Structures are given as structure tokens and as C-alpha cells.
Amino acid sequence: MPKKYHIETSLAPPRFQPIGKYTTIEFREDCAGSCRECVKKKCVYNIFKDNYQHMSSMAEPEYVYACMSCLRCIQECTKGIFSRVINPEYRTLGDQYWNADIFHRTWYQAHTGSIPVSGAGYRGPFVGQGFDSMWTDMSEIVRPTRDGIHGREYINTSIELSRRPERLSFNEDMSLAIEPPPILELPLPILFQLPSFGLLSTNTLLSIIKAAAKIGTLVLIDPANINDTFKPYLNNLVPMLTSDNYASYSDIIANCQMVELAYKKGIEKEFEKLRNIKKDLFISVGIPLTPQGSDIALELAQTEVDTLHYYADKDGRELNTEDPRFLKDVIREIHLKLVDNAIRQKINLLFSGGIAMAEHVNKAIICGADAVAIDNSLLIAMECRMCLRCKDGLSCPVKLEDIDSEYGCARIMNLMGAWRNQILELLGAMGLREVRRLKGEVGRSMWFEDLEEENFGPIFGKRKVPSF
């Protein structure tokens, strides 16, 4: 039996004190002082272990970043002097889409490689915007298979980013009458791309590239950033080229598996020229996610391109429109356009922008994506706070530019290990054994807009959901 694909994880504690979600408040003057063991020492998650310096000093509040919200410490304090409130600094993290909870979960996963849990359960709203208005069907979790999702039975998370023939033809002796195209298989439906901000030093980029190489995925990168340090990893790099500059990077193209060309009308004329540089080159076309996205997909799917990569904005919304739709709706539209024209099976769809959590990967695939590319999450895994000081030429509070590449690689691998485990959990709970089966399976999901229209629409009419 072949070895199962596995992402190695290891503890990678933060270099800087993370911004904790909770602040402890204690009325020390009322402390009995006679408890055999303080409730803080009895924490089942040991979250106070590194914070005991605060116990003997009132100099600053205690910010607890790994708390699971079980509230046992508050309930079991014999004098009732211990309480917890939200850390005011925590509320300032990120923005409306990349909110503080995303930072908190990402830091935890990058630290431990484990799926985050909460002792108090989910305390947020029942429905939100974007992917938060979509739920997945987990009915198979009540009757799991004999071996469970992590037992002897395999769950395949691999995908292909290569073009597939519409049909096979055979000779009389049953040998193939056509030459099958080369296959580019990735063990995970997640690619990396560089964020549009941040101190992207050589060490920062090397952290991302090393993690991609160890995981077996690809990194979309500006070829101008490829220096001698990165050349040993060319097999995992996807240079982002244009029709005007690719001739200048023929030496890089010859050593890469895949390249991406920026879309423009008539871009398909360049595909043959690229494959003259390298015969079995896989080609992706990078396309801004605009309202014309589905028409462009239909046009290019009939050419010799392998993958179409659509770029949304950082919050997962359409570009160049006054009323932008969210990623999930546009993915669905593009996927169905190709299905209706009986050409979906030939092409691969890759989407980026707004993919912030593991559940977003699952939901994007349900909508019709083959894979996603992530960017900001990679920086957050390396302790970035998206304060955007770097954009103003100010110093980074976590010195991201000085990060050790092995440490940064470990943090990213931990994050991907936790995300993959969540993909496995979903597939197992759906009774699926490979992630490719999930593609376009909207019957295994529920959409708030549809449920509201069916149940409350006849009474209250259609409601417009505000944008981010």
C-alpha cells in the first residue's frame, strides 16, 4: 500500500507575544490566598503557563491568546474575584473581512498545527456575508465508515491542474490511439501566492517557498523576485508573466512546471510559443474577476490552456463593478457556464482573494472551483497583524523581514496541516473519499439566500444583503 500523504507539523511558538482575545481582571485584595491550587494553575489547556509573571504584578493586564473560552477558571474561583473581558487591542486587529477571529485562529493553527476549538462554542451571528451565508451538509457524521476518516481508508485531497482530453480512443489492439497529455497533480487543492503588501524580504519569501516545496504545492511569483536563492525551488514556482515579457525569462520557464500569463484578448496565440520553450509546460491564465469572467472562461476553455486563475480583491469580491458580488456567487456562475457548454471537464478553475480559513477552501470547491490560492493567510501565519505600517514605510512590529526561513516554513506547514485536517473532516462527514468529488456539489450545501427566499420571501419579499 502506498504511503499516505501527510503534512508534518511541529510546535512553532510565536516569537512575539500575540494579541490575546481576553484580558483577565482580578481583585487581588479579595484573594483568599489559602487555595491549595489557584484556578489558573488548574487550566486544562495550560494557557497561563507562560503568563505567571503577571500574577505577581499589577503593572499590565494579562492578555491570554490561547484561551478556549471554557470559563472554568472563572466558575471555580472560590472568592469570585477572577473575571475576563475582551482585550480592547484585539478589536483593532485587521479589518471588517480579515477580522480578529481569523487572526486568532490562524495564529493558533500556525503555532500548534491543530484545529482550533472553543469551549464556549460559536457565539457569533447565525448568518453572515460571503462564505458565512453558506453551510455544508455533514449528515454522514452520524454514521461514519468502519475505519473512520483517519483510519486505514484513504481520503484523497489531490487535484490536477493539467488539461484533460474529452474522450479516449483506442486502436484495435486496445492500445491508446491518442497521446495522453501530461498530468500535473498536486496533493492539496491549495496554492500559494505572494500578498500585495508586507515586508517580503528574501527570508519571508523563502519561508513560503520552502513550505510549498515540502507540502508539494506551487507558489505564484513575479519572476523579477526569483534570485539565486530561489532557483533550487523552480519546480515549485509559477512565474507570473505577460505576453510582453515572457521571452526575457526563457531560462526560468525551461525549469518550471507551470507558468501563468496575464490575460488579454488573443492571449491564446502565445501558448504554442511558450511550449516551444518547454514542450510539457502547463499554462495558466491570470484573469481579474470581473462580471465578464464567465464569457472569458468559455472563450479560453476552447484553447490549449490548462488552468484559468481568477483574481478577486482581498475580501473576495468582484472587480471593476459598482455592485460587486462575492466569490462564491461568481465561482458558481463561471462553473455552470462551462457545464452548460459541456466543456467544464477539460479546464481547471483556480480562484484567489478572500480565502482566509479552511472552510473557505471547502466552500469554494463546492461552488465549482478546482483549487484556491492563498496569500494574506501566509503572512498572518508568520505573525503579521495586517497593521499596514509597512505600506507607510514604518517598522514591522513583529520584524517579519528578519524571520528565520525554517521557522517561517514550520509555521506555514502547521497552518496547512490544520487546514488539510479540516478538509478531511468535512469529506469524511459527507461520506466522500476524494476532494475532486466535492467540486460543484451544491446539493451538499445550504445557502442562506435560497433558504430565506423559499421560506420568508413569499411573506416579506426579497431582502438585499449589504456588502462588506
CATH of the domain at 335: 3.20.20.70
**pLDDT tens-place string over residues 334-346:** 999 999 999 999 9
Place of cell 485587521: 94
173 located within any domain? yes
**pLDDT tens-place string over residues 319-335:** 999 999 999 999 999 99
Average pLDDT estimate for 139-144: 61
Q: For residue 63, what are the domain limits?
A: 22-92
User: What is the spatial distance between Cα 67 and Cα 60, in angstroms, rounded to a whole number?
Assistant: 18
**pLDDT tens-place string over residues 433-445:** 899 999 999 988 9
Of the two residues 243 and 52, the one the predictor is more confident about is 243
Give the per-residue pLDDT at 157: 94
235 located within any domain? yes
Final residue in a domain of this structure, among 92, 107, 127: 92
Phi-psi region of 413 (alpha: psi -120 to 50; beta: other; left: phi over 0): alpha
- The residue type found at 279 is K
Please report which confidence band the pLDDT of residue 61 belongs to, taking 50, 70 and 90 as the band edges: low
User: What is the spatial distance between Cα 64 and Cα 153, in angstroms, rounded to a whole number?
Assistant: 39
User: What is the spatial distance between Cα 336 and Cα 228, in angstroms, rounded to a whole number?
Assistant: 43
pLDDT at 15 over 50: yes
Strands of 62-64's sheet, edge to edge? 62-64, 22-26, 82-86
Q: Which residues of 30-68 are buried (b: 16+ CB within 10 A; e: fewer)?
A: eeeeeeeebbbeebeeebbeebeebeeeeeebbbbbbbb
Average pLDDT estimate for 48-66: 55
Strand partners, 221: 239
Cα→Cα distances 33→30, 39, 90, Å: 9, 12, 31
User: What is the spatial distance between Cα 252 and Cα 422, in angstroms, rounded to a whole number?
Assistant: 35
Give the per-residue pLDDT at 143: 54
401 located within any domain? yes
Task: Indicate which CATH number applies to the domain containing 53.
Answer: 3.30.70
Question: Do 374 and 272 belong to one domain?
Answer: yes
- The residue type found at 428 is G
Question: Do 80 and 182 belong to one domain?
Answer: no
Which residue, 327, 424, 292, 417, is CA-closest to 8? Answer: 417
Question: Do 173 and 305 belong to one domain?
Answer: yes
- 338 burial (CB, 10 Å; 0-12 / 13-18 / 19+) is buried
**pLDDT tens-place string over residues 356-414:** 999 999 999 999 999 999 999 999 999 999 988 888 888 999 999 999 999 999 999 99
pLDDT at 53 over 60: no
